[in-house]
Amino acid sequence: MSRYWSPVVHSLRPYVPGEQPAMGSVVKLNTNENPYGPSPRVAAAIAAEAGDALRLYPDPGAVRLRDALAKRHGVDREQVFVGNGSDEVLAHTFQALLRHEAPLLFPDISYSFYPTYCGLYGVDYRQVPLDSAMRIRIADYRQPCGAIILPNPNAPTGIALPRAEVEALVAEHPDQVVVVDEAYVDFGAESAIPLVRSFPNLLVIQTFSKSRSLAGLRVGFAIGQRPLVEALERVKDSFNSYPLGRPALAGAVAALEDEAWFEHNRDLIVASRRRLAEALLGLGFEVLPSAANFLFVRHPGSSGAKLAAELRSRAILVRHFTGERTADFLRISIGTEADNDRVIEVLRLLVR
Ligand SMILES: *Cc1c(COP(=O)(O)O)cnc(C)c1O
């Protein structure tokens, strides 16, 4: 606290990111990073930018990257917005599109950055409870609101909504923006991007951090019809014209050029997810059906907090959330086969 602070700062409740330990030999399954590295083409493209070119500002319009994304997703460049990680894209979205008279709706169990952005930008919100199976029910969103945001697959549950349900939700709210945060969509859910052509109120946000192994580069993007993207550009150009540096722009384009690398790693992770889920079921865990690169699990005989602490003491980091409905659970990112074997080995000793 300081008397020098702007008043709003006193009431901010900052997001708390998962721990990034300095120690080398931990099994790090707490922030849903990809256990496999990015395409070697990414490092080559970044190296090519890392010389004299750094003297110059990057392209403020990020045209090469937006063109590559437009081509991959079958839209026009003008329908693509890029930012410094999807967290920045989300922040601009909250400010540009989600602050209205009526409250923003999002699930009670969801990405914990959403309430933080609401605090930062003064967005009134209401949390809509997931059902008893921890699923989003779109019927529960039939209520007066200013806008809607939800992750698909949801985080931290990992449960995906079929595209037809996303479509129904967007169609039921023609006067509100509906934002679908698809940070994990590549691991097994259906993207809403094909719906963008039909719905002027739909914005889809994705990231290079998870499925493209580039959490350290900070690249995210949004796809929507032109007026929504223009709102984001207005905020961005009132904030920072160059959110992506030359290395990030070049690296992201290179990542998109290596689909085979991306698909191979994604398939490995999906196969490991299935094996890890089966092993945990065998140990008596309840495992929510995940379409993401993590599992949300609980054990009838052991508290989530206790298991997380015991794992931590054995150099395995997983994520534990303290919310009323989530405190029993652990969120375990899918690691390499060796990482997953280690978690299973330790959990076998901890649960009885
Ligand atoms: C990881 C994550 C993001 C943010 O990703 P960036 O690294 O900022 O691109 C956004 N939404 C959800 C639900 C996430 O889990």
The sign of the dihedral angle between the CA atoms of 140, 142, 146, 149 is positive
Task: Tell me how far the alpha carbon of residue 48 lies from the centroid of ligand 1, in angstroms.
Answer: 27
Task: Tell me how far the alpha carbon of residue 15 lies from the centroid of ligand 1, in angstroms.
Answer: 12
Residues 296 and 177 in one domain: no
Residues 242 and 325 in one domain: no
Residues 180 and 292 in one domain: no
Structure tokens at 283: 């140990």
Task: Tell me how far the alpha carbon of residue 86 lies from the centroid of ligand 1, in angstroms.
Answer: 6
Beta strand ranges found along the chain (DSSP E): 27-29, 80-83, 104-107, 125-128, 147-151, 177-181, 202-207, 220-224, 286-287, 294-298, 316-318, 329-333
pLDDT in the model for residue 113: 96
pLDDT in the model for residue 23: 63
Residues 74 and 196 in one domain: yes
* Tens of each residue's pLDDT in the chain, 352 residues: 789 999 989 999 998 887 788 767 899 999 999 999 999 999 999 999 999 999 999 999 999 999 999 999 999 999 999 999 999 999 999 999 999 999 999 999 999 999 999 999 999 999 999 999 999 999 999 999 999 999 999 999 999 999 999 999 999 999 999 999 999 999 999 999 999 999 999 999 999 999 999 999 999 999 999 999 999 999 999 999 999 999 999 999 999 999 999 999 999 999 999 999 999 999 999 999 999 999 999 999 899 999 999 999 999 999 999 999 999 999 999 999 999 999 999 999 999 7
Residues 252 and 297 in one domain: no
**CATH code at position 229:** 3.40.640.10
Domain, as residue range, for 87? 40-258
Among 212, 235, 258, give the residue marking a domain's end: 258
Task: Tell me how far the alpha carbon of residue 3 lies from the centroid of ligand 1, in angstroms.
Answer: 33
Among 258, 276, 303, give the residue marking a domain's end: 258
Half-sphere exposure of residue 79: CA atoms within 13 angstroms, side-chain side = 22
Q: What is the value of pTM for the model shown? A: 0.97
The pocket around ligand 1, CB under 6 angstroms, is made up of 85-87, 111, 151, 155, 181, 183, 207, 209, 215, 220
Residues 228 and 93 in one domain: yes
pLDDT in the model for residue 21: 80
- Ligand 1 mutation pick, 31, 81, 87, 319, max ligand atoms within 8 A of CB: 87
